[in-house]
A and B are shown apart, each in its own frame.
Chain A
Amino acid sequence: MTQDVTVPPIAPPPESALRDERRADRLDRIVGTVQRQGALAVLVLVAAIGFAAFPNFRSLANAETILISAAPLALIALGMTFVIITGGIDLSVGSLYVLGGVVAAYASQWGVLAAFLAPLLLCGAFGVVNGVLVAYTRMAPFIVTLAALLGARGLMRALSNEGSETYLVRSEAFRAFGSGEFLGLAYPVWLALALFAGGAVLLGRTRFGASVYAIGGSEDAARLMGVAVRRTQVNVYVLSGLLAGLAGAVNAARLGSGVTVIGVGVELDAIAAVVIGGTLLTGGAGTVAGTIAGVLLLGVIQNLINQVGSVNISWQQVISGAFLAVVVVVQTYLTRLRRIQ
């Protein structure tokens, strides 16, 4: 398919130009690495401090606690990563998470399959609406998903008698999924790991993933280069909705009920985790691995503050917020540095 082009030999660029080029290459690689792996480095650092300072932090049980409590947020943040890389945002995931939990608990009376399918269908449908409105009406993702946040919350409360009724999980198998373990790790953790692996492949190794990056990098250029912009946009919002619903189901399985009073601000935690993980909120760059690091970092900070005991646990929010600010300021600076040279 490539037409053969033979260009006559040209004079090699001067040595000084090559040197500049090499230096630019090196700087670019360093900056790129910091952008991609910064969250991981800080995670390792913070965990190391935890290891050194808190005996309780060291235990295997504690590690498992961190992982299992991070699992729902991880799923939500995974979907959010895709949305943010396209340059969008999904505020509805917190509500969908709760809605998914309530629906899963309610549907568990018809078996474990229903408990998974019902939230996926319902939250996926919300994702379709979000995606179609964003892609086809050109309304701002922020406002579309804000409306979906309200709509999903309303629906959740309508289904749960204004939030006062907590459905108990009726399926033993579903409950077992929430509490069981395999090779020492809880099923939800395995699920999250598997989905993250799948997400990494989807984003990094498929044409769909390439489209996601291209749209976020430059929607106009992507369109000119033949990317199916609208279809891809719809898909990422559907993915985000599905994952939020699944996170709700996982949480319901773990708690044994569809709790209605959680989920406020989960969308913001997810956005924070994604951004801390090195994904640019302006779109076009980011990785699934960075998001894991971001989610775990938030979890570890919370865990460590719990370990300290005497300190108000709200410091966790202060630190997370400050962390977010520092990360985005550094990101902005690095991006500029990369552009200028």
Chain B
Amino acid sequence: MTLLEVAGVSKTFPGVRALDDVSFALQPGEVHALVGENGAGKSTLIKVLTGVYQPDDGAVRYRGEPVSFGTPLDAQRAGISTIYQEVNLVPLMSVARNLFLGREPRNALGLVDERRMNREAADVLTRYGVRTDVRRQLGTLALGAQQMVALARAVMVDAKVVIMDEPTSSLEPREVETLFGVIRDLHAQGIGIVYVSHRLDELYQICDRVTILRDGRVVHTGPLEELERIRLVSLMLGRDMAEVRREGVTGFTGEHEVQGAQPVLRAAGLRNRHKLHGVDLAVRPGEVVGLGGLLGAGRSETLKAIGGALPLDEGTVEVAGAPLRRRTSVGAVKAGIALLPEDRKAEGIVPSLSVRENIALAVLPRLSRLGLVSEKKIDTIVERFMTRLRIKASSPHQRVGDLSGGNQQKVLLARLLATAPKVLLLDEPTRGIDVGAKAEVQALVDELAAEGLGVVLVSSDAEELIEGADRVVVLRDGVVVGTLDGADVSTEGLLRTIAAASSAAASAATQEEAS
């Protein structure tokens, strides 16, 4: 009997079809990999399975019965537990308390039997390789140990299905082994596991079957063993090896003319505790350098480190030969670095302010005298960029929060360009925006490069990266594992580097960590 099944499920959000006629089935005792790039619909599918979202169309069946979970809690009570990428426990409570919250053992008086709880917690956790004082605050444990506590809790609630969303992203290799031990054990007990990860090695090590999502559709489902690694990557990224169609896919026009031999941006030896382990990067004026790699490889972190938004343990950043002294966002902006953040809503737009205010935000000092802003200068600059970027708003005074995603992104780009930057760091510039706006943004990147800016482009969209970048630097676990140049900048080259890197770089990164 199929344990958990969705049939023909669709889910639409304003402007986006997140799931389109998706079917997926999980058998008891199966470890089922669910893969796809960002925006492919994985998280939406998980949310449908766990009752966070209700599907517009289609059915969810659990142990043969049609179900409709109203909340994640309902799903959990029915036996579907989820372990999220960010640990969803209470960091200030003790480890044991977290493990037993809501199910604390009680004594004859109905009071929590702390001693028994701690003893049982220690017993349970030892089996998960966590050896720590269970009275410690959870938040003081390493992330890997926290993840194990979450897993232990999920299994303790009599789960029939365990959904793991990137469970290893914060684990050390040793902890990954422990996790796999637990998974094998659950597997043997007939528990179904949905395993979401971008680490190909892991998938091949632990999973039986795979379902690949792309653009809200299932593009492949079947036994994992029979699927070649490079084929898996190509399915994920949506590039069929056999038929690489070039023309008209993106708004990019092709090569850029690199102006001058001296790099406008040079970053060397960027290190940040867990995220970056010595990344070097150089960009010349007029050049678009792509950062390739799968999720969690350190692409966004590299951009943030250069933009002063991620503290560095080591490393230098130079703009046009001058080293940045103040390692803050303020310093970076002043030096001519403009960063388009990945998360438009959380770190980009100020939704309560108008289009006009948002565009002018970073250049206010330049548009003012004695602290008074010049409305005329702002109008000029706002009009210029609204025209140039074809920002569609009812007026410059419309709230940015009310605009479409594409126009919000253009507003942010306008804000960056208004600072007349030398270096543009673009993190997923076209994610979640409609096709028209996407092509416009891509054409704009070309234009800016032609004007002599140095551009660093991060994109999960392989086409965008290949066609937009002159050079692609491939990252894996916070280190550079390859650079594609000239003719190598191709889908095949990229896929090969990523696929190869996923086995080679893992060990390199581990050594890095140990040193």
Contact = CB atoms under 8 A, between A and B. Distances in A.
Q: A–B direct touch, CB within 8 Å, in complex?
A: yes
A205 interface: yes
A115 interface: no
B101 interface: yes
Nearest to A282: B92
B132 interface: yes
Contact of A225 (B91, B101, B185): B101
Interface string B114-158: 100000100010011101110011011000000000000101101
A217 B127 contact: no
Contacts of A217: 90-93
A252 to B, nearest CB: 34
B129 A10 contact: yes
A223 interface: yes
A115 B90 CA distance: 42
Contacts of A225: 88-90, 101-102, 153
B156 A2 contact: yes
A19 interface: no
Interface in A316-341: 338-339, 341
Interface stretch (A21-29, A124-132, A151-159, A187-195): A21-29
A111 B177 CA distance: 71
A215 to B, nearest CB: 9
A211 B90 CA distance: 11
Interface in B166-222: 174, 177-178, 181-182, 184-186, 189
Looking at B92, B101, B120, B159, which has the most chain A CB atoms within 10 Å of its CB? Answer: B92
A285 interface: yes
B92 A205 contact: no
A217 B139 CA distance: 10
B73 A3 contact: no
B102 A227 contact: yes
A97 interface: no
A205 B111 contact: yes
Contacts of B76: 224, 226
Contacts of A32: 137
A210 B112 contact: yes
Given A7-B128, A217-B91, A207 B140 contact: no
Interface in A256-303: 280, 284-285
A218 B84 CA distance: 15
Interface string B67-86: 00000110011000000000
A91 to B, nearest CB: 24
A210 B104 contact: yes
B415 interface: no
Contacts of B304: none
Nearest to A32: B137
A338 B140 CA distance: 6
Given A24-B140, A214-B101, A284-B92, A207 B185 contact: no
Nearest to B129: A10
Contacts of B155: 3, 5
B335 to A, nearest CB: 28
A237 to B, nearest CB: 21
Nearest to B101: A225
Interface residues of A, number: 42
B111 A206 contact: yes
Nearest to B97: A210
A11 B77 CA distance: 35
Contacts of A214: 90, 93, 101
B174 A11 contact: yes
A221 B158 contact: no
A34 interface: no
A183 B155 CA distance: 53
Contacts of B136: 25, 28
Q: Which 3 A-B pairs have the closest CB atoms?
A: A217-B90, A284-B92, A205-B111
Interface of A: 1-3, 5-8, 10-11, 13, 21, 24-25, 28, 32, 201, 204-207, 209-211, 213-214, 216-218, 220-227, 280, 284-285, 338-339, 341
Given A28-B140, A224-B73, 20 more contacts: A1-B103, A3-B189, A5-B127, A5-B155, A5-B185, A6-B185, A7-B129, A206-B112, A210-B97, A213-B90, A213-B93, A216-B92, A217-B92, A217-B93, A224-B88, A225-B89, A225-B102, A280-B92, A338-B139, A338-B140
Interface of B: 72-73, 76-77, 88-93, 97, 101-104, 106, 110-112, 114, 120, 124, 127-129, 131-133, 136-137, 139-140, 153, 155-156, 158-159, 174, 177-178, 181-182, 184-186, 189
29 contacts: A3-B155, A3-B156, A3-B189, A5-B128, A7-B182, A7-B185, A10-B177, A10-B178, A11-B177, A21-B132, A25-B133, A201-B111, A205-B111, A205-B112, A207-B102, A207-B106, A210-B97, A210-B102, A210-B112, A214-B93, A214-B101, A220-B88, A222-B101, A224-B72, A225-B88, A226-B73, A280-B92, A285-B92, A338-B139
